[in-house]
Amino acid sequence: MQKEAIAELQACTAAARENRTAEYKARGVIIPFPETVFIGEQVTLTPGCVLLGGTILTGTTVIGKGSVIGPNTVLHNVDVGEETELNNVTGTDSRVGSFCSIGPFVNIRPNCTVADKVHLGNFVEVKNSTVGENTKVSHLTYVGDSDVGRDCNFGCGTVTVNYTGKQKFRTTIGDHVFIGCNTNLIAPVTIGDFGYTAAGSTITEDVPANALGIARARQVNKIDWVLKKKPYKDQG
């Protein structure tokens, strides 16, 4: 993607870029800062969409009506539906549905399908995955090689652990699933419909539908350990 996009950018003259943005503005596309926006030759923009500053659209990218792209969003071969917001997003070879809220600082890597009404929050990365309708992945999470159902919620710090060093495996998550904060899902693994994982769990076995998966050591408090060991310099 990077080489293709760079080649497309290099081939475009300043006059061609200005003419293209002016043409789309005349058609009803809103571009407040046209001098900072690049629109490739094969890009399709629907009247009523908005391109904010720092937006770069290359390849066969399509932007639906009412969608707000940017600021600082780079898309290559990405199909975006209607009324979707992409703020500080990088996307490649993927589809994003309508009424989505994505960003800031989201990376959508190739072969992803993000359904309607999905929220991907700050510092989320999605790769080779499907994310079902109305699912929320709010922040600091990696979803790789996964099939995620609808109406799911991912807690902060969730990781789908998809690579053994030799082979990659998929994670399957059903509908209405709640993934607790700092959960590691060790693929291949399946979480059934309405399943839960407890925060801080490393899940290595399937969690049946309607079940709670807990995979963490019990907490042990060593009473007066600090007084006995005196680990701090100012304890004498």
CA angle 62, 66, 71 (to 5 degrees): 75
* Positions marked catalytic: 139
CA angle 64, 53, 110 (to 5 degrees): 55
Q: Is the pTM of this model over 0.95?
A: no
- Chain-wide mean pLDDT for the chain? 94
**Residue of 2 and 181 predicted with greater confidence:** 181
Domains, the chain, in order of start with CATH, read: 2-235 (2.160.10.10)
Return the amino acid letter for 206: D
pLDDT at 12: 64
> What whole-number distance in Å separates Cα of residue 160 and Cα of residue 67?
29
CB 115 within 8 A of CB 132: yes
Query: Alpha carbon of 66 to those of 82, 114, 120: distances in Å?
Result: 6, 18, 19
Q: Count CB-CB contacts under 10 A for residue 35.
A: 10
> What whole-number distance in Å separates Cα of residue 26 and Cα of residue 185?
49
What DSSP letter does each residue of 107-133 carry, written as one string?
EE-SS-EE-TT-EE-TTEEEES-EE-T
Phi, psi at 136, each rounded to 5°: -120, 120
Tell me how long the chain is. 236
Q: Which two tokens stand for residue 1?
A: 């993607």
Q: What value does the mean pLDDT take over residues 174-184? A: 98
pLDDT tens digits for 55-84?
999 999 999 999 999 999 999 999 999 999
SS3 15: helix
pLDDT tens digits for 102-136?
999 999 999 999 999 999 999 999 999 999 999 99
> What whole-number distance in Å separates Cα of residue 30 and Cα of residue 66?
10
